[in-house]
Structure 1
Amino acid sequence: MSLIGEERKDYILNQLNLEGKVKTNELVESLGVSSESIRRYLEELEEENKLKRVYGGAVKINLSREEPSQLKREVLYAEEKRIIGRAAATLVEDNDVIFIDDGTTTLHMIDYLLNKKNITVLTNSVPALYLLIDYKNKELFSGDIFFIGGKVSSVQSRVTGSLAEKMLENFYADKAFISIDGIMIDKGITGFDEERGQLAQKMMEHAKHIIVATDHSKIGLVQFYKMADLKDVDIIVSDVPAPKEWEEYLVKKDVTWVAAT
């Protein structure tokens, strides 16, 4: 494949991140190549497991409309999530009060909070709670821990529901660190589960700054429940830079995108 061909494939993937789908006839017009060439590019990208071909074009791979279990989520893009978690942790300052939701990306933050002084962590994540307790008992974490109580999901190892939301009403934080299942410029940030999404919304409402942590696989996807508009987010931490077509919007809405390294 020539360099120009690779550039065309990159363009196709970028459009997928923007729209969640591409149409063959529109790609023919925008790239100025034949429909046969477009079909070949789509076939090659599908073989690389980067998209799924459908009639008239292709869509971004969305492996499931159901949320994977917590154990499965832990191993998906684990290295990318570790890098994102480390970068997100740098946004935490001494004396901060922070919400950390139940995402496996935000979970990775905890390993990098050990040098922070006098921070308070509120979480609805059972794995995050156990990890914080372990570090606390080993005298590696000196802050305070609050567990948001309510209905427990054994599959997702988290707490959600009306009791959790009621408890959260009593607290305010400097920063809320939120994991997501989809992000698009026009659809905002979305998740699989409405109860989890509602609790995340409450965290965002009660925080001065909203920070989204997401790996590249969520870009260009939209899921069942809308948690917030993109303009409502202060910082997005990802393992890749923002799509170029998003840059003007992000600047206009004062949303900072951090590409973790």
Structure 2
Amino acid sequence: MSLVGEERKREILDIINDAGKVQTNDLVKRFGVSSETIRRYLEELESENRLKRVYGGAVKMTLVFEELSHLKREVLRVDEKKRIGRAAAALVEDFDVIVIDDGSTTLQMIPYLLYKKNLTIITNSISGLNMILDYQNKEMFSGDVFFIGGKIDSRHYRISGSLAEKFMDNFYVNKAFLSIDGISLEQGITNFDANRALLVQKMMQKSEQSIVLTDSTKFGVNRMYKIADLGTVHTVVSEEASPEHWAEILEKHQVNWIVAE
């Protein structure tokens, strides 16, 4: 590796340390080199355990091996999450019964549900519940709300565990809106936390439609706990189109992919 190459690699690490991620296209423009050169830099840095390559770029190692706290997740890729949340909310119809899980992306749906009529919302998100109650108290939301009971995870502001799974047995819903930590052809949709993965599985079982909300940094990424195969998902909502080589599998299983504008 040339001196220039080493300097570029150090600069890539500086960007990742500050922003938590880098995009290949941005690095191509920044350094004026080919995408193949950037790919080689990222491969070398990954081999040194300095970063983790993902679809379209790379992320900081801490973003791969452990789940960030709720407060840290809330401020990551906010603009993308708002677009995804708005597009997902457009799938909700008057009189729907829906589940909204605890993800920072699914929470972005809530402000766009205020003018839906006669909704019933079920959630395990403490932040989501507080947001909905605030809108109710301001008479901006008039639907029914059910809070899933169970073990409290204070770091992630959510409820999970066996009691939460039993709670979901009492419902059958039209649509379940779900956040994930990884999505790939090989492992499907995956998650950092075993208890959360089990609860999301239950939400999918008790729903007519399972709708996954994910930003593109999770494409091609596998986490420790599998939730379900990609073919069992009804709809994926993201700010980017699916990778081209996924098209055949998505079409085979009739998975609808929505690009949030």
Alignment match, 1:169: 169
- CA 1:121–1:43: 2 relative to 1, 3 Å: same
Give CA deviations for 1:170-200 in whole Å, capped at 9, x if unaligned: 1110000000000001110000000001000
Pair 1:40 & 2:37 matched:
yes
Farther off after superposition, 104-113 or 242-251: 242-251
Alignment match, 1:59: 53
What SS does the aligned partner of 1:104 have? coil
Quote the offset at 1:59 in angstroms.
3.5
Pair 1:225 & 2:218 matched:
no
- CA 1:40–1:163: 2 relative to 1, 3 Å: same
User: How many correspondences in the alignment?
Assistant: 219
Q: Give the partner amino acid of 1:220.
A: G
Query: Partners in 2 of 1:257 and 1:127 — Cα distance?
Result: 27
Pair 1:119 & 2:113 matched:
no
Q: Which runs of 5+ in 2 are unaligned?
A: 1-33
1:103-182 counterparts in 2 under 5 A? 103-182=103-182
Quote the offset at 1:151 in angstroms.
0.4
Alignment match, 2:99: 99
Q: Give the partner amino acid of 1:205.
A: Q
Give CA deviations for 1:49-69 in whole Å, capped at 9, x if unaligned: x994427xx833353311100
What SS does the aligned partner of 1:108 have? helix
Contact 1:43 1:53 (C-alpha < 8 Å) held by counterparts: no
Quote the offset at 1:42 in angstroms.
2.6
Q: Which runs of 5+ in 1 are unaligned?
A: 1-36
- CA 1:116–1:52: 2 relative to 1, 3 Å: farther
Alignment match, 1:235: 235
Query: Partners in 1 of 2:45 and 2:128 — Cα distance?
Result: 35
Alignment match, 1:248: 248
Percent identity of paired positions between Structure 1 and Structure 2? 51
1:79-98 counterparts in 2 under 5 A? 79-98=79-98
Contact 1:180 1:190 (C-alpha < 8 Å) held by counterparts: yes
Q: Give the partner amino acid of 2:245.
A: E
Q: Give the partner amino acid of 1:182.
A: G
Query: Partners in 2 of 1:156 and 1:235 — Cα distance?
Result: 25
> What is the TM-score when the length of structure 2 is the normalising length?
0.80
Runs of 4+ residues over 6 Å off in structure 1: none
> What is the TM-score when the length of structure 1 is the normalising length?
0.80
Query: Partners in 1 of 2:45 and 2:86 — Cα distance?
Result: 32
Contact 1:106 1:179 (C-alpha < 8 Å) held by counterparts: yes
Pair 1:211 & 2:234 matched:
no
Query: Partners in 1 of 2:169 and 2:38 — Cα distance?
Result: 51
